[in-house]
């Protein structure tokens, strides 16, 4: 599975969009980009995933660059409850390989 690079932490104002970047320059053609988040001491929560095209669901949008070497998770209107560790995972096999993630702090 390809390695991902995420900033250690980010801050976002409540009500504003949160844009979380992820670099995955060694991604292979059949590997998916998955995003999970983990609120303190809880199990990781699935957010969204994609292969090539941009994806949107009720939680977030995923923007994948055309060369697929990076992606951005967008939370359109961040709330205090979105404060969590966000993990970007490139998945080529059955298991999920988690990195350190990005700590997103949403502030009022």
Shortest reach from residue 93's CB to other proteins, in Å = 6
**Residue number, 21 or 99, with CB nearest to other proteins:** 99
CB neighbour list of residue 6: distance below 8 Å, 6 or more residues apart: 20, 21, 22, 23, 86, 87, 88, 99, 100, 101, 102
By CB under 8 A, name the binding residues for other proteins: 30, 32, 34, 36, 41-46, 49, 87, 91-101
Please answer whether residues 54 and 70 qualify as being in contact, where contact means their C-beta atoms are separated by less than 8 angstroms: no
Shortest reach from residue 14's CB to other proteins, in Å = 26
**Residue number, 1 or 14, with CB nearest to other proteins:** 1
The DSSP letter of residue 52 is S
**Residue number, 16 or 28, with CB nearest to other proteins:** 28
Shortest reach from residue 60's CB to other proteins, in Å = 14
Number of Cβ atoms within 10 Å of the Cβ of 38: 15
């Amino acid at each position: 599975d390809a390695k991902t690079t995420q900033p250690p932490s980010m801050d976002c104002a409540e009500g504003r969009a949160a844009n979380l970047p992820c670099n995955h320059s060694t991604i292979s053609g059949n590997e998916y980009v998955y995003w999970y988040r983990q609120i303190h001491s809880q199990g990781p929560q699935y957010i969204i995933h994609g292969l090539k095209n941009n994806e949107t669901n009720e939680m977030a949008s995923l923007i994948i660059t055309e060369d697929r070497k990076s992606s951005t998770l967008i939370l359109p209107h961040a709330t205090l409850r979105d404060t969590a560790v966000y993990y970007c995972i490139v998945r080529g096999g059955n298991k999920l390989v988690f990195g350190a993630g990005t700590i997103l702090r949403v502030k009022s």
